[in-house]
Structure 1
Amino acid sequence: MSSTSFVHLHVHSEYSLLDGANRIDALLKRAREWGMPAVALTDHGNMFGAIKFYRQAQQVGVKPILGCEVYMAPGSRFDRNTPPRGERAYHLTLLARNTQGYKNLIKLVSAGYLEGFYYHPRIDKALLADHAEGLIVLSGCWNSELCQLLLKGEQAQAEQVACWYREVLGSENYYLEIQDQGLEGQQELNAALLRLSEKTGIPLVATNDCHYFDLEDAQVHDVLLCIQTGKGINDPKRLRFSSNQFYFKSPAEMQALFRTCPASIEQTLAIAERCAVEIPLGQTFLPRYTVPDGFTLDDYLEKLAWEGLEERLRFLEKREKGFSRRQREAYYRQRLAEELQIIKKMGYAGYFLIVWDFVRYAREQGIPVGPGRGSAAGSLLAYVLRITDLDPLKYDLIFERFLNPERVTLPDIDIDFCMERRDEVIRYVTEKYGKENVAQIITFGKMLAKGVIRDVGRALDLPYGEVDKIAKLVPAKLNMTLERAMQEEPRLKELAEQDGTGKTLLTLARKLEGMTRHASTHAAGVVISPQPLTEFLPLYRGTQGEAITQFPMEDIEALGLLKIDFLGLRTLTVIYRTLELIRQGRGENLTLDQIPLDDKATYQLLSEARTFGVFQLESQGLREILQKLRPEVFEDLIALVALYRPGPLGSGMVDEFIQRKHGKVPIVYEVPQLEPILKETYGVIVYQEQVMKIASTLAGFSLGAADLLRRAMG
């Protein structure tokens, strides 16, 4: 037998929250190095990491086996009473054999959270029997029903359980899982499993229930369990593993462990060979928007667009100083026709109609809607549909920055709503497209530099003051890591190199840094599906009992599902309350578009940095820059907000911009063609649109190709 003839079929990643200490990329890299043809992911009760695992496995050339270690209720999943013997749930290892099995796995895992949650997300035998097609089931670890019966000497009942699974799943799809981590009583358990296998003909398969990466990571996992349970490492009653052998062992190690049962090793390869799941990535699955009789999606969008343009042109002619409809209308019509042609060609008319519909609903209900966020402000179509309220032609914004015809991806329109009424819009969308088709999106909190030091310090029972002092040595900078912190703070580096508690603390913290700590609901993300979501992804139970996705934002985008950010913005609430107070107090029906953007008194207040409570202009750092900049026009404010980022601040771009504005540094254009592009920003490249225009003007790039260049630049 080859030294590489083994596949791990029972593996926990960091998505077995605060119990798994394996990073997916490291697992796959190790599997490839060892020549493993495949590896499974079987996190506790969830599929959080499934798409990440699937995509990365394909990239490294290792077959991904998608699975889950589910919790089986002793009776019904609906039973919320703890049984007399105290078994709240047993463990069972499920693997998707094919795409149908993957879909059934999704439904089982979703039901575990939405129907069977009681301490754990539980399923039951009846549900498994209904969704058994395409699954391979391993009998489970020490905490499985089968092993617990054998440990109690109840061989006859154990045989009944095993035969039930074999009958439901088919004899070729059920295996007795055998492990050897050196636990007390494990040899006797394995002997009982072997006898059961011989009696029933159910084959044995070897696994290792991998919770961490290397042998030396047993301590890392121990600390992780302390963080999970809120216990100190010196607590004699805390949760702990009874062995340090739950790591990602090499094929040679596994073969040595089961040398008396080589068939159990060979079965891992046979199972891996049979598993083949294909997840469609890169496709688009838009919900269907119902248009009036006699219209196609494209026809109806065009009708709304041209009607909207007429309304906007009348508005601009009435309100915009110096706007000449006679001079500008042809330009607007040409731009709108070009956008509609691109959208029709890419098949995204339905997307715009869906967004238009819920924004229209919000406006009709008097729910404040933001003027526009992100690259969607570059779309004239979005403007004429009143999805946004910013004229992209006035600000010379580029449509291809929003929707690139040379890179087929779903548009991404983020919408701000009044914080207090955002949920009304989500409720409207849910009712329109179906409760089973709409859900909010999960997000994961990570153990970051300062936080992981505090977590590990508590777990090690170190004095709070000592841990706090070390944590405060980490510089308070964006995206700070412990590695960077040690480079920038000599005292931290010294602690990490000297023997003592500080070194232990930092060593363990660095091992855990960046791992997933908890799951929560994304502040804005909502997914809308053309079918029940469980046809595409598993669902999770939020803190209020609501259904949210188990896949995060980037995985939902990879699946091609429609993702919308419904952002609840406090500033919108404050602005519209202010308008209401003006109406009540002064009898004026003031609207935002009536407020001029060239009011000198306002710019004087801004130059004095009197901006407490002003969205994006109230931080101490930004107020200091406001006083230096002394803005005079609205475009100065746009540039300031764009420049107030770590990169420009650290590179001196902000100071350069201010000095050029005030004439302290001459404005020099390397070539004359740059002047019309950079004149507004005093010769400094501030916006991504400027990068695109430079590439188009100087190198002949199409705007689509220029957008690809912009993306490559980061």
Structure 2
Amino acid sequence: MAFVHLHVHTQYSILDGFSSISTLFDRAEEMGMPALAITDHGNMYGVKEFFKFAGKHVDKATGHFKVKPIIGCEVYVTRHYDPKLKDSEHRSYYHLILLAKNFDGYKNLMKIVSQGHIEGLYYGKPRVSHEIIEKYHENLICCSACLAGEIPKNIVAGKMDEARKAIEWHKRVFGDDYYLEVMLHKTEVPGLSLEVYEEQKISNEGIFQLAQEMGVKVVATNDVHFVNKEDGPAHDHLICLNTGKKINEEPRLHYTQQEYLKSEEEMAALFPDHPEVLENTLEIASKVEEYQIDRDHVLPKYQIDQAFLDDLDNYLNIYKDVIEVGKCDKKGNYRGDEFCKSVAYLCHITYEGAKRRYGETLTAEQSERIDFELKTICRMGFPDYFLIVQDYIAASRAKGSMVGPGRGSAAGSVVAYCLGITNLDPIKYQLLFERFLNPDRISMPDIDVDFEDLSLAHKYVEDSYGKDHVSRVITFGTMLAKGAIKDVARIHDLSIDESNRLSGMVPDRLSEKVEKEYLFNPDLDDLKPGFKVVEKDVEVDDPDNPGQKKTVKKTYQRGMEDTDVKITLKNCYRLVPEFKEELENGTEQVREVLKYARQLEGCIRQVGMHACATIIGRGNLTDYIPICLSMDKESGQYVWTSQYDGHYIEEVGMLKMDFLGLNTLSIIHKCLDNIKLRFGTDIDIEAIPIDDKPTYELYGHGDTDSVFQFESEGMKTWLQRLHPERFEDLIAMNALYRPGPMDYIPDFVDRKLGLKPIEYDLPEMEEFLKDTYGVTVYQEQVMLLSQKLAGFTKGQADKLRKAMGKKQITILNELKDKFMEGGKANGHPEKMLDKIWKDWEKFAQYAFNKSHATCYAWVSYQTGWLKCHYPAEFFAANLSCNLSNMPEIKKILSDCKAHKIKVLNPDVNESYSHFTVNKEGNIRFGLKGIKGFGSNVADAIIADRAANGTYADVFDFIERLGNSLGRKAIECLVYSGGFDSFGIQRKQFFLPCRSGNLFIDELAKYANLYSQDAANSAASLFGEVEEMKPVRPDIPEMVGTDNEFEWLQKEKEYVGMYISSHPLDKYAFEIESFTNCELADLNKKVAECEASKKKMKVAIAGLVTEYSTLTTKTGKPYSKTKLEDYSGAYELALFGRDHEAFMSYMKPHENLYIEGDIEEKYFIKPEERAQGKTSPYAFRVKKIMLLGNVNETMLNAFSISITTPMLTEKFRKDLVSLIQANRGTVPLKMFLYDPQTKYNIEFHSTKFKVAVTTELVSALKLLGVQCVPVRK
């Protein structure tokens, strides 16, 4: 006798199942079970992974599964699902097990499960109706499920007749493929669920009775939720996480901890009088066929233009060479007439596009490249793929939405360039097609596309191919190391401080010594320290016998090398001393937390939706994959989502596209709109000159804030040294400015500036390295050089690129032999070839994809060109696209000031919907950016102004807008500054008129009366219409002085930022020079110190916005002060002596400079520390002063740094003029750096002393001068 588990939950029964699929198969094979089912709750999330691990348990002799996979689901069933019905019968559901007998059953199961998610979702439960089950029941086996099943529920409730009726229905639908389930979970462990066993006994007794009475077979199941018996407590923790309960909290949900993958013997012991219930599981397993769910790619059918089809025979003849190459698949099977049509159409529109790109006559290189690519694409079977991609890109552009110039390796395709998929010529920039599609490696193309408007792209493919043909892709969020600790700490009621301390011990990087071996040539290679030389037999291709192998001896060096390891708790507990200490000497509670966090790590915690992956199918997707629903944040709608994640989508034949949203495209588009609005000029951003000198000067000055991918301080520093002069310099910097290749930037810069000679290891290398001054920067350079120097094929070159990037040492050793042999055959010295290879090995793991770097350098150049020539319009666009990103807003506003561009409040006479530029070249805040201000009101203001001209005064505005306005709208405009241009101060709106009412209330009343009067004019005694206008309210006179701070606070409340001014603006230099932390980052710094157990000195600055004095439980006073800076807010609490010492500074509206230490919050005695007691860290104030006193107190001198290339006559005059205009008392120093000699000369000015102001520093930075305060 044997047994098969037919009711099994994996971790894809999220926060309920604890079973790892790989462990399930290992254990099932270990116990000799011939098959195993997966029946997760209401979903098929884990089915592909289930098949994957089944495939790892195959008998090599027979090719059959050792443990046959049975695909199923525990569905939630309601009798007659109708979303309109609210009574309990139609809202309730019960459990039912469905198992697929074969591939057709699998397809029906997908239909049922998908329908539950699409139509039957109710409080998170995907319910299916009897009608749906009956419609798709064929080739499915049905079992009655657990106590939550319909039959057990009725039996336990004493409703035997209802149970009979239910059995009759299931028998009618499924016939002999319907089985009743029995299970028995006896437990005597205190605290676990004892009721389940009692109810199961009642249910089982009724099931055996009804089975005999009605002729239905019974199977034993165990409702498996974890693999091994000892996993029960960990599963209990998972249930606590699911239900939000503490481990010691009662009442809460308990399982019996008997729900594990029991052996045949354990199951037989539960039903000694009914051996048939085990035998029947084998009967079910025997009904299930062995089948695979993977399939060849099923691409959607592209609808070819009818005009082309009308002349099809002609085109088939023109492109017969390409068609001949691709018309049969690799097995020789004819792909069909429709495929040949697609090939011909792809060729046709490619060559039409080539005329637009290159002109009527193509060069030999262009023709050969296009022909090679088309033949490769069609041989691999992907013509429809390219047709579909070009279609939705063209559609987005046609609807006025910007699309990126390309990204990733697809930019290496000339066909993609001709089709408009990409916008940069790969031949011109030496971008490689085989980096994108390797003829030696059959895999789906992967064209990622950047869109300005993602929703538009999604809507287009849904409309074009059908909503039920399109879906997004699911993601599974797992518990990672830090998160697992925090989750379990919460279950164990550990304090937040202690939870943060433990999770903070997880490092960002882990390494250990691992044995490695490399090919070794004693004449060429140095032996690595600690390595030893070994010889071993290796199989290689036999050149004398093609297709045969021979064994040769090769020499290697072998030794231990530091290698990064995955950050898991298992590795942390081995390698991190603090964890070892806690596991050995920590409290019992802490040890328990660490124990169960380790066990729960890796469990699936939630599902999500992939940010960019989209599936397009040939038919209804539920015919191919199971579907669920996810919330699309952009549209606010539920959208179809695959139940298989991105790793598996292509394996089941689906076409996955990546649609990415790129905010920079929105910025460019809005900038172009702003230019059109102000100047009436249409600019084709794809046609701007690529050799624009002022734009490269902008890069050379480091003026690249908001310039795509060139914004960081480090990048700006290198740009100031490099002084880029051509587009290739930007491509190289985009590729080099990343961790790893950054080390090569100094050499690259020095060679470009002539400070180092440009050298090539071999003369033949100049062709591919001249654009990067002899430095290997790109993967494509390695690929091209391997072909030129050693005769690699294009496929082999791509294999080399991949092996170097992924450090695939075995493949690299194999390819090194080929490189050395090929290079020597081409006459190159062995020693030089070895040097080149070693250089590649060091750098190629960091070498970047030139195709991607080129595309993104072009987007960067576009933003740089716009900033250079239309700075105000560019900044306005950036502000419009970053309204919710306050740190970015802060940077943009600072950049506006540096460029002497004002950002003005909203104004009813100048503002449009978003940020725009007025006639004076200043930026005007958009009406739709005002918080609480109706979009319809904004549209009405803009439309009326366009039709009838500007508003003369506030009364003209009120009269023309009429009942579009309420008090709230008027208030929004007052506080945001929308009426400032009418000459009425904001305070006046809140002063009383002669009527005694506030002016703002009188205006709201006037708006209402005026609109009523326009609609209902009074009639005279003679039947004539007499116009009776309401009287305009009087404007109250200004009384007293304005509290500027209060109005600025209101302004910030309504527009999200300070626009008129910022209370800290005049102290920008002091803040930048003397602080080292923004308020928004202070808590993060505290967490870092706590994790590293190190103190940190911190200097902050901020504006006091709130202050309160409170009393501790012991009656002592303490204070809470809210500080704000440009980044955000921070609440500072002061106790005891700190409160007494600093309370005098804590006045609302004061601007403060604060120094302090991040250190342990509490004093720990040495003996307590020895016992493992610790303290959380906190920020402790040591010193406070007014920001206005900082320069006087802390500044010793002001230093400026310039380079010799900057010393033009114009620069000298501008610099002297600036210094003369800012005379003061601070001594001036100047450093002059010469890049050629690398001398740095210091000058002390005896003539000039300066007043250090924010305005001076901003002006100097615009000249490219670096400013450094010299502290006392």
User: What is the TM-score when the length of structure 1 is the normalising length?
Assistant: 0.90
Match of 2:211 in 1: 197
Contact 1:372/1:389, CA 8 A, preserved across alignment = yes
Q: Are 1:252 and 2:265 counterparts?
A: yes
Match of 1:226 in 2: 240
- How has the CA–CA distance of structure 1 residues 506 and 616 changed in structure 2, closer, same or farther, with 3 Å as cutoff? farther
Contact 1:223/1:460, CA 8 A, preserved across alignment = no
Match of 1:688 in 2: 779
Match of 2:660 in 1: 567
- How has the CA–CA distance of structure 1 residues 238 and 289 changed in structure 2, closer, same or farther, with 3 Å as cutoff? same
Question: Aligned AA for 2:507?
Answer: P
User: What's the offset of the Cα at 1:113?
Assistant: 0.9
Question: Aligned AA for 2:427?
Answer: L
1:23-75 per-residue CA deviation (whole Å, 9 max, x = no partner) reads 22222222233332221111110111111211231232232111101011254
Contact 1:98/1:275, CA 8 A, preserved across alignment = yes
Q: Are 1:310 and 2:314 counterparts?
A: no
Structure 2 CA distance for aligned equivalents of residues 563 and 468 of structure 1? 39
- How has the CA–CA distance of structure 1 residues 569 and 180 changed in structure 2, closer, same or farther, with 3 Å as cutoff? same
Partner of 1:42, secondary structure, is: strand
Deviates more, 1:71-80 or 1:160-169: 71-80
Q: Are 1:297 and 2:342 counterparts?
A: yes
Partner of residue 415 from structure 1, selected from 449, 463, 466: 449
Partner of 1:506, secondary structure, is: helix
Q: Are 1:136 and 2:136 counterparts?
A: no
- How has the CA–CA distance of structure 1 residues 261 and 392 changed in structure 2, closer, same or farther, with 3 Å as cutoff? same
- Unpaired runs of 5+ residues, structure 2, are 59-66, 187-195, 313-340, 511-565, 632-636, 807-1272
Structure 1 CA distance for aligned equivalents of residues 744 and 32 of structure 2? 54
Partner of 1:121, secondary structure, is: strand
Structure 1 CA distance for aligned equivalents of residues 367 and 455 of structure 2? 36
Q: Are 1:586 and 2:679 counterparts?
A: yes
- How has the CA–CA distance of structure 1 residues 290 and 237 changed in structure 2, closer, same or farther, with 3 Å as cutoff? same
Counting only pairs closer than 5 Å after superposition, residues 650-665 of structure 1 correspond to structure 2 as 652-662=740-750
Contact 1:12/1:22, CA 8 A, preserved across alignment = yes
Contact 2:18/2:226, CA 8 A, preserved across alignment = yes
1:333-383 per-residue CA deviation (whole Å, 9 max, x = no partner) reads 211111111222222221111111111111111110000011111110110
Match of 2:120 in 1: 116
User: What's the offset of the Cα at 1:97?
Assistant: 0.6
- How has the CA–CA distance of structure 1 residues 629 and 368 changed in structure 2, closer, same or farther, with 3 Å as cutoff? same
Match of 2:577 in 1: 490
Contact 1:94/1:135, CA 8 A, preserved across alignment = yes
User: What's the offset of the Cα at 1:416?
Assistant: 0.8
- How has the CA–CA distance of structure 1 residues 624 and 221 changed in structure 2, closer, same or farther, with 3 Å as cutoff? farther
Q: Are 1:16 and 2:13 counterparts?
A: yes
Structure 2 CA distance for aligned equivalents of residues 666 and 266 of structure 1? 82
Partner of 1:366, secondary structure, is: coil
- How has the CA–CA distance of structure 1 residues 686 and 174 changed in structure 2, closer, same or farther, with 3 Å as cutoff? farther
- How has the CA–CA distance of structure 1 residues 201 and 623 changed in structure 2, closer, same or farther, with 3 Å as cutoff? farther
Match of 1:447 in 2: 479
CA RMSD of aligned residues (A): 2.8
Partner of residue 153 from structure 1, selected from 158, 164, 169: 158
Structure 2 CA distance for aligned equivalents of residues 624 and 660 of structure 1? 14
Report the identity percentage: 43
User: What's the offset of the Cα at 1:157?
Assistant: 2.2
- How has the CA–CA distance of structure 1 residues 476 and 698 changed in structure 2, closer, same or farther, with 3 Å as cutoff? same
- How has the CA–CA distance of structure 1 residues 626 and 512 changed in structure 2, closer, same or farther, with 3 Å as cutoff? farther
Contact 2:36/2:68, CA 8 A, preserved across alignment = yes
Counting only pairs closer than 5 Å after superposition, residues 1-150 of structure 1 correspond to structure 2 as 1=1, 5-61=2-58, 62-76=67-81, 78=83, 81=86, 83=88, 88-119=92-123, 120-150=125-155
Q: Are 1:164 and 2:196 counterparts?
A: no
Contact 1:150/1:192, CA 8 A, preserved across alignment = yes
- How has the CA–CA distance of structure 1 residues 620 and 503 changed in structure 2, closer, same or farther, with 3 Å as cutoff? farther
Partner of 1:689, secondary structure, is: helix
Question: Aligned AA for 1:55?
Answer: K
Match of 1:706 in 2: 797
Question: Aligned AA for 1:407?
Answer: R
Aligned residues: 690
Q: Are 1:428 and 2:466 counterparts?
A: no
Partner of 1:146, secondary structure, is: helix
- How has the CA–CA distance of structure 1 residues 10 and 628 changed in structure 2, closer, same or farther, with 3 Å as cutoff? farther
- How has the CA–CA distance of structure 1 residues 576 and 488 changed in structure 2, closer, same or farther, with 3 Å as cutoff? farther
- How has the CA–CA distance of structure 1 residues 588 and 222 changed in structure 2, closer, same or farther, with 3 Å as cutoff? same
Counting only pairs closer than 5 Å after superposition, residues 474-513 of structure 1 correspond to structure 2 as 474-476=506-508, 480-486=567-573, 489-499=576-586, 500-513=588-601
Contact 1:210/1:248, CA 8 A, preserved across alignment = yes
Q: Are 1:469 and 2:501 counterparts?
A: yes
Structure 2 CA distance for aligned equivalents of residues 249 and 170 of structure 1? 29
User: What's the offset of the Cα at 1:146?
Assistant: 0.9
- How has the CA–CA distance of structure 1 residues 87 and 282 changed in structure 2, closer, same or farther, with 3 Å as cutoff? closer
Contact 1:657/1:682, CA 8 A, preserved across alignment = no
User: What's the offset of the Cα at 1:600?
Assistant: 5.5
Match of 2:1127 in 1: none
Match of 2:182 in 1: 178
Match of 1:318 in 2: none
Contact 1:102/1:277, CA 8 A, preserved across alignment = no
Partner of 1:401, secondary structure, is: coil
Structure 2 CA distance for aligned equivalents of residues 108 and 126 of structure 1? 10
Contact 2:16/2:242, CA 8 A, preserved across alignment = yes
Partner of 2:657, secondary structure, is: strand
Partner of 1:60, secondary structure, is: coil
Higher relative contact order (CA 8 A, sep 6+): 1
- How has the CA–CA distance of structure 1 residues 329 and 450 changed in structure 2, closer, same or farther, with 3 Å as cutoff? same
Structure 1 CA distance for aligned equivalents of residues 197 and 788 of structure 2? 74
Match of 2:251 in 1: 237
Contact 1:14/1:515, CA 8 A, preserved across alignment = yes
Question: Aligned AA for 2:7?
Answer: H
Structure 2 CA distance for aligned equivalents of residues 617 and 240 of structure 1? 56
Contact 1:284/1:561, CA 8 A, preserved across alignment = yes
- How has the CA–CA distance of structure 1 residues 212 and 426 changed in structure 2, closer, same or farther, with 3 Å as cutoff? same
Computing the radius of gyration from Cα coordinates, the structure with the larger value is: 2
User: What's the offset of the Cα at 1:666?
Assistant: 8.2
User: What's the offset of the Cα at 1:465?
Assistant: 1.8
Partner of residue 648 from structure 2, selected from 532, 546, 555: 555
Structure 1 CA distance for aligned equivalents of residues 489 and 684 of structure 2? 54
- How has the CA–CA distance of structure 1 residues 600 and 213 changed in structure 2, closer, same or farther, with 3 Å as cutoff? farther
Match of 1:517 in 2: 605
Match of 2:905 in 1: none
Contact 1:107/1:538, CA 8 A, preserved across alignment = yes
Name the structure with the higher strand share. Answer: 2
Contact 1:19/1:221, CA 8 A, preserved across alignment = yes
Q: Are 1:338 and 2:375 counterparts?
A: no
User: What's the offset of the Cα at 1:643?
Assistant: 4.7
Partner of 2:259, secondary structure, is: coil
- How has the CA–CA distance of structure 1 residues 303 and 682 changed in structure 2, closer, same or farther, with 3 Å as cutoff? same
Partner of 2:197, secondary structure, is: coil
- Unpaired runs of 5+ residues, structure 1, are 315-324
Structure 2 CA distance for aligned equivalents of residues 578 and 712 of structure 1? 43
Contact 2:185/2:197, CA 8 A, preserved across alignment = no
Contact 1:77/1:123, CA 8 A, preserved across alignment = no
User: What's the offset of the Cα at 1:175?
Assistant: 1.0
Structure 2 CA distance for aligned equivalents of residues 464 and 70 of structure 1? 39
